[in-house]
Amino acid sequence: MITVAVTGGIGSGKSTVSTVLRELGAVVADSDQLAREVVAPGAPGLAEIAAAFGPSVLTGDGALNRPALAAVVFADPAARRTLEAITHPRVRARFEQIRAAAPADAIVVNDIPLLVDLAVAATFHLVVGVRADEQRRVGRLVGRGLTEADARARIAAQLTEEQRAPLCDVVLDNDGAPDELAEQVRTLWTQRLVPFQANVRAGRRAARGPVTLVDHRPSWAADGRRLAARISAACGGRRVDHIGSTAIPGMPAKDVLDLQLAVESLASADELTDALAAAGFPRSDGSWQDLPRPAGDDPDHWVKRFHANADPGRAVNLHVRIRDRPNWRWALLFRDWLIADAAAFAEYRDLKVAVAARYADDPTQLRYAEAKEPWFGFAHDRAERWAAATGWQPAAAGSEVTGTGDRGTVGGSA
Ligand code: ADP
């Protein structure tokens, strides 16, 4: 089973995407509909709303008076938070019921118009965004019966496409005809969702083709935050850092994100095995150990667990290391040193490019890694000298909380 959120601004085409996913076999839960259910006459949510806002938010026959409630919360952010504190947990609980009742091989989709929070996005295996140009959205909403002014006001109150994109693993484009959107959904289904689900169910990682060095992609930073938040959510909020070359702005890298989960002990790493597999990060068998640095250091300080992800659309390596052990600290120091030291950055970049070109024909990539190794030997001493000179310490928190605003909220709302 995997869970997928579908999100996008009003008029972007979410309902169209959900409809196609349902036709393809997904179990679809619509958040707007769940939100209506939790405040239906007789539902406990409605009683709580009446208790919080008074009888004026009810109609004569005891149903929710939506315009009256909207008038209250529109003008008062504190009142809106009160309302959300009543409705959001109930909507989530309803979704949880639907998820729990779905078959073991289901792809469960939640259509969420107001996905604004990375912590919420992180509870899904995948977040699918739908986007369309604002002018087109306004035109479609007017076609659906809204006035143009109303359509624009609603769009202005929501996240912009730029704010939403970092929350999404994939963004579908709906500037074309409905059929073109449907075709993108079918491709996503067959090439990503179905194999992702099958991999999670089987507890196996996604197959990876040959990976080659590519120029740094600005999207890697948001990918790292999103995946760190997802792994953290599966592991009781533990710290997760985006490490390696994809975490160093400007550095060319293979398109494989390296992430590091901090655990208290190998026993706690092992306890998290099942939760990580269910979240889409199955463990790789065998005993894993980083090369000690400096070379003579106690190899026991460099043990780890290694997981790779089940999503065929985005390769991730997850290194599970014991917090404050030398291998945990080195991953952070190496990243931060290369971000701070332009000369070291250029050396490492040039080395990677040269070695990748030299061993381009080696399908195993082993010689690429081998050829970089001597440089790491003396890089370690230099990085440690840099740390001593600058007073470097690992940051207090990892990438799972470094979004803008509190707990990764990207701002805006509906
Ligand atoms: P959302 O659920 O994101 O608000 P909808 O899927 O309901 O958006 O789409 C908004 C309106 O635009 C609907 O009336 C829908 O039929 C129409 N629509 C969606 N996609 C297209 C498209 N590619 N071309 C034309 N109209 C579209």
The residue among 73 and 176 whose pLDDT is bigger is 176
3-state secondary structure 153-212: HHHHHCCCHHHHHHHCCEEEECCCCHHHHHHHHHHHHHHHHHHHHHHHHHCCCCCCCCCC
Q: Which atom of ligand 1 is nearest to the CA of 175?
A: 23
What's the gap in Å between 192 CA and the centre of ligand 1? 24
Q: Which atom of ligand 1 is nearest to the CA of 181?
A: 23
On whether both 193 and 236 belong to a single domain, the answer is no
Q: Which of 202, 234, 268 is the last residue of a domain?
A: 202
On whether both 232 and 189 belong to a single domain, the answer is no
286 φ/ψ sector (left φ>0, alpha ψ -120 to 50, else beta): left
The residue among 365 and 355 whose pLDDT is bigger is 355
On whether both 255 and 367 belong to a single domain, the answer is yes
Q: How far apart are CA 204 and CA 211, in angstroms?
A: 19
pLDDT at residue 413, as a whole number: 33
Q: Which atom of ligand 1 is nearest to the CA of 9?
A: 3
Q: How far apart are CA 244 and CA 263, in angstroms?
A: 19
Q: Is position 208 within any domain?
A: no
Q: Nearest Cα to 288, choosing from 264, 274, 315, 270?
A: 270
What's the gap in Å between 312 CA and the centre of ligand 1? 29
Mean pLDDT score across all residues of the chain: 93
pLDDT at 394 over 80: yes
What's the gap in Å between 29 CA and the centre of ligand 1? 18
Q: Which atom of ligand 1 is nearest to the CA of 19?
A: 6
Instruction: Return the CATH number at 144.
Output: 3.40.50.300
Can you name the residues that pair with 3 across neighbouring β-strands? 108
On whether both 186 and 241 belong to a single domain, the answer is no
Atom 4 of ligand 1, nearest CA residue: 11
Atom 21 of ligand 1, nearest CA residue: 178
What's the gap in Å between 146 CA and the centre of ligand 1? 13
On whether both 285 and 349 belong to a single domain, the answer is yes
Q: Is position 118 within any domain?
A: yes
pLDDT at residue 210, as a whole number: 82
Single pTM value for the model: 0.92
Min mean pLDDT across 181-195, 209-223, 392-406 is at 392-406
Residue 64 banded pLDDT, cuts 50, 70, 90 = very high
Q: Which atom of ligand 1 is nearest to the CA of 140?
A: 12
Residue 409 banded pLDDT, cuts 50, 70, 90 = very low
Task: Work out how many domains the chain is built from and give that number.
Answer: 2
On whether both 315 and 380 belong to a single domain, the answer is yes
Q: Is position 28 within any domain?
A: yes
Amino acid identity at 284: S
Counting ligand 1 atoms within 8 A of each CB, the residue from 10, 12, 16, 33 with the most, and so the one to mutate, is 16
52 φ/ψ sector (left φ>0, alpha ψ -120 to 50, else beta): alpha
On whether both 222 and 198 belong to a single domain, the answer is no
pLDDT at residue 407, as a whole number: 39
Average pLDDT over residues 110-114: 90
Atom 9 of ligand 1, nearest CA residue: 13
On whether both 75 and 43 belong to a single domain, the answer is yes
What's the gap in Å between 4 CA and the centre of ligand 1? 20
Q: Is position 270 within any domain?
A: yes
On whether both 307 and 227 belong to a single domain, the answer is yes
On whether both 307 and 400 belong to a single domain, the answer is yes
Atom 17 of ligand 1, nearest CA residue: 140
What's the gap in Å between 86 CA and the centre of ligand 1? 30
Average pLDDT over residues 224-243: 97
Q: Is position 299 within any domain?
A: yes
On whether both 327 and 187 belong to a single domain, the answer is no
Average pLDDT over residues 50-55: 95
Atom 10 of ligand 1, nearest CA residue: 11
What's the gap in Å between 15 CA and the centre of ligand 1? 7
Average pLDDT over residues 3-20: 96
Q: Which of 202, 226, 243 is the last residue of a domain?
A: 202
pLDDT at residue 401, as a whole number: 82
Residue at token pair 């409630």: 69
pLDDT at 236 over 80: yes
Q: Which residues lie closer than 8 Å to 212 by C-beta, 6 or more apart?
A: 254, 356, 360
pLDDT at 406 over 50: no
164 and 129 in contact (C-beta within 8 Å)? yes
What's the gap in Å between 137 CA and the centre of ligand 1? 8
- DSSP symbols for 252-272: -EESEEEEEEEESSHHHHHHT
Instruction: Return the CATH number at 278.
Output: 3.30.460.10
Atom 6 of ligand 1, nearest CA residue: 13
Q: Is position 42 within any domain?
A: yes
pLDDT at residue 402, as a whole number: 52
CA 158-112-274 angle, to 5 degrees, is 130
On whether both 32 and 159 belong to a single domain, the answer is yes
pLDDT at 63 over 50: yes
Q: Which atom of ligand 1 is nearest to the CA of 176?
A: 23
Which residues line the pocket of ligand 1, CB cutoff 6 A?
A: 8, 10-16, 140, 143-144, 174, 177-178, 181
Q: Is position 207 within any domain?
A: no
Q: Which of 202, 237, 252 is the last residue of a domain?
A: 202
Which two tokens mark 383?
Answer: 């990085």
Average pLDDT over residues 36-59: 94
**Report for 201-205, 396-400, 406-410: range of highest mean pLDDT:** 201-205
10 and 113 in contact (C-beta within 8 Å)? yes
Residue 156 banded pLDDT, cuts 50, 70, 90 = very high
The residue among 212 and 228 whose pLDDT is bigger is 228
Min mean pLDDT across 65-74, 197-206, 265-274 is at 65-74
Considering the chain, what percentage of its residues have pLDDT values greater than 70? 97
pLDDT at residue 352, as a whole number: 95
Q: Is position 385 within any domain?
A: yes
Domain containing residue 134:
2-202
Atom 7 of ligand 1, nearest CA residue: 15
